[in-house]
A and B are shown apart, each in its own frame.
Chain A
Amino acid sequence: MIENWFLYLGFAAALLAVGLYALLTMRNVIKLFIGIEVVSKAVSLVLVGTGFARNHILLAQSLVITFIVVEVSLVATALALIINIYKKTGSLDVRKLTKLRG
């Protein structure tokens, strides 16, 4: 069963890499959010894959369903922020968001 687990973990890691790449290199804020979505898919895959490999598929499913609900809330909030940013600045370029230095 472990081999199964590792198959899913492996692909999830690849997805994670893609998502992180988007977060690091993309300039359009909407693209950044697509990166986050890809990362979320990776996490869902890890959860369900783990449940499958452990014969705990039912528990994994309830966890993933809750996680998807959280994801929706998050996406709604983030997109609301993005729309507001667009209304304020007229641009979706993350390079323009450099007023604060951190």
Chain B
Amino acid sequence: MIGQILLLSGLVLFSILAVLAKDLIKSAIGLALASLFLGIIFFRMGAPYAGVFEISVVAGLITVLFMLTIALTKTGGDVRESKTATLVFPVFFILAGLIDIFVMKGLLPKLQVLQSGPEAGTFAEILWKQRTFDLVGQLAVILAGVFAVLALFRKKDNHD
């Protein structure tokens, strides 16, 4: 339990770093580290597949995509973030945290949840047999993304 809380805090911390860092590269690295923490959290919850996906895809692939974009958009004068945003953040975060804890404590008695029995089947069975339509959806979403990138990076051969 303590381990999870520490890891979760690490996750939030690195996310804050990713958001507030001035240098975009540091931001991307912060995001990757946050993903790493999240992956470990998933492992410890008994979700190894999700953990692997989180680490290899989000911490890996998406970070690479970010780095690629950052490299392709090196501006001469970087966009300066407003200083007030960075200064106001702690106040905002503490406020949000307090509201968070308050709401959670208030909801605790009110929420009714159905009891559930043990889960049937292995992960492979559930993914391939029960959620087969999801896989069709995954294929569709990948194709949509591929075509989107193809469309957005195409060479315009005919000009108006």
Interface residues of B in 60-80 (CB under 8 A from A): 61-62, 65-66, 68-70, 72-73, 75, 78-80
- Indicate if the CB atoms of B49 and A26 lie closer than 8 Å: no
What's the Cα separation between A80 and B113 when bound, in Å? Answer: 42
Point out the residue from A19, A55, A59, A63 that lies within 8 Å of B15, measured CB to CB.
A19
| Max count, chain B CB within 10 A of own CB: residue among A2, A56, A68 | A68
What's the Cα separation between A22 and B30 when bound, in Å? Answer: 14
Point out the residue from A2, A60, A74, A76 that lies within 8 Å of B47, measured CB to CB.
A60
- Indicate if the CB atoms of B145 and A34 lie closer than 8 Å: no
- Indicate if the CB atoms of A92 and B119 lie closer than 8 Å: no
**CB-CB < 8 A to B79: which residues of A?**
27-28, 91-93
A70-102 vs B, CB cutoff 8 Å, 1 = contact: the mask equals 111111110111111010001111000000000
Number of A-B contacts (CB under 8 A): 223
- Indicate if the CB atoms of B12 and A15 lie closer than 8 Å: yes
A28-71 vs B, CB cutoff 8 Å, 1 = contact: the mask equals 10110111011011001100110110111111111111101111
A48-B50, A90-B75 known; A30-B31 Cβ under 8 A: no
- Indicate if the CB atoms of B47 and A48 lie closer than 8 Å: yes
A38-B34, A66-B138, A92-B79 known; A79-B69 Cβ under 8 A: yes
- Indicate if the CB atoms of B141 and A69 lie closer than 8 Å: yes
Q: Can you list 9 contacts pairing A with B, beta carbon distance less than 8 Å? A: A17-B93, A22-B19, A28-B79, A37-B58, A45-B41, A59-B126, A62-B123, A71-B58, A77-B145
Taking Cβ atoms with an 8 Å cutoff, the residues of A that contact B are 2-3, 6-11, 13-15, 17-19, 21-22, 25-28, 30-31, 33-35, 37-38, 40-41, 44-45, 48-49, 51-52, 54-66, 68-77, 79-84, 86, 90-93
